[in-house]
Structure 1
């Protein structure tokens, strides 16, 4: 109901004392009668406040009362004349100062008559709106049942409300990207608002967009979807708000449906990652799993590993983040499995889009630290080396400060980068030729030669430090290293031979 309709009702005899045409077009959301001088706690905005002015003892009271109404977003003040015989000038002046429309209620008009008229009009309007809403809900549900896609439903709601709607993920991925692509700065602002807002829905700074969560409030925002709508939602009418709320509910259903498919894909990805980690990247069963995961088994792939520092319980959250981020720039979902407490993604091409997408999650991480390592693109036969390169890159990321770091293979300048370029079969053959005699001796005698060799090299060839690490006498370490030299035919006092053995250990 508009204030104009109330003031113009002939049976009430109301008179507008302050307010212009724009004020008369203010909507009245509800009605509230009070004689409290500070009714702020009972006002939420849009009310017609009716008062008999029993609270007024002087001009200062008028100023205080009207200031409270203005701060609460009141639609108008309807003041009765029964107490003073007229409306005090100081009340009129206060309404002018605070731009609160003021309506005079004559003594012969009861407050109950005004209340009955407003409540009746609002109830009728709400009934009409409810019928319209139910009809719209039925049409949307029928469309969903008929197989209409989420993108078509978003377009339908956008057309009916005049508001451009999009469905996005926490990394800014366009589930339904809308009629135009958003720029990276726009996506950064929108995603940051969704991830950090104290309460949702929320308005993005500047009022260009509003964000609505898809799913329950208790869900992890960094792995969720949201609906982004152009414009500030507090300025929308009730019908537009209800339509967007319905779209949010339908998007949640669509997300749940897609989640069922992702659960099947997880098992396939876990198998593919396990085969690659075991050095079987060029075997037929690995190619089959990659193909089932939607990847080309003959094309180069990039490996990315991610995990939260000191939070193994967050593994599935890390996997979900990697699935979302790795889906940028690809036509289908990437293969993301888990291995040794880390999420592992296999994706085609380079990882530039992955880095940008993951960085967008940083505002929502809080005190937690997410570290990510990314390999360079590798042929299927060298994917085990690429996995090692990605893990080494993540190890480097752990030593950097901040909530999120992505380190790529190009940032790694050690033997790991070199070994990652060597096909898995070649690396393992080299390791076998050098170390098999040592492994066989250990298997027969449980002599601990391999453990001693690793400690000796990690301690840069120091007998005493290796003995201290292994809790052995230094002569025992000397004896075991001597046996290793006999079995491998290499002198670990010679730098070139020591490098051979070190690389063999890292190639296993």
Structure 2
């Protein structure tokens, strides 16, 4: 299928805003939907990109649009399909950027869903495949006919795998998640350990594994894998991956607005337990609230909440508990899991490995006895998430509230602006530039580190004890604190940690 074919589908009602005929003739290799400001690392050459343009606002000017479209060009995307619903029409800055970077731009009206576009592409690709001459074809005609009927009837992936490979003697074949978790397998396939499967997915490209369609994030990717080389001809594997791309798994553990209402405590007179049950979770606890946030390595723009929700869902799948996840611009990605946690940290690390270019931070509440405690659990999880960002800004980290056992860890959960203000007000003149002030700050740190011991502080700083006494008196004068008092020492210790 080519880009220009999309304009010929009346059901989509797309409008060409810019695109030269030679560019519109490009073949479409896949579809990715994204609202990341810089999606380059999640794209593959030949894909069309669907975007609601949520990342852009009228105050941004042309620079942000230019960066977004430049990322598409660098990744080899063949077209941008921009939704009109967010801004009423596609902003001129986006049109200009597409013209500069020579990316065809099609407008998607609000009445046309991105899912409709995606299905149109993959159904057309499958139709093109079915119209190939027999000698260009890998799957036998009777198998193609059967798979088409199964897709129309909504068959599950396991059934599709079984029928696709039955004519080859039923070799072991697996549909894998991004972390190597088995989503479906042929009937006689032995269990495939997740770690071994993940090794295949992370290793060099091979003829035994094919990515299945496009995904909105690396954490939602699916792969078709046949462990035995030569058991399935590469063309059959490729065509079967195209078939599976048309099968849409239900959104994993999606809780939507109902879950957010429970967590916000905005149910009105409705029962939280009944609302949880409506989301697909048990009415009774224990529960745990988990939040997630993604950012790019090197301080690039943050990934959106949908990608974070995909990562959160995959990590909780590996943890083995029932859960529901929701995402919004205001709340970010948040989930409610039911039951005692397994080893969520292991699943967190495995999920983060799906996208080495991103940092996955998370926060988890303590165990909550009932639905009435979920709003407080969300506050706990957000605090722990903030601590994760502060303690390891450039590294993947999951922090649970029960891990906040030290003063430094507790303070790490405070907003950066609050920490900075407290430190500035408490330390006061000691924070000012100048050699003497830096000397006093060093003396304070050493004095507190040695539990207020004059002798050990003097020894550590290679000073006379009288000099330490003088400096401490000066610190007390400048800060208004009495270092003989434990509470004042704690004030200053906290201020030092908040810097």
TM-score normalised per structure 2: 0.49
**Larger relative helix fraction:** 1
TM-score normalised per structure 1: 0.48
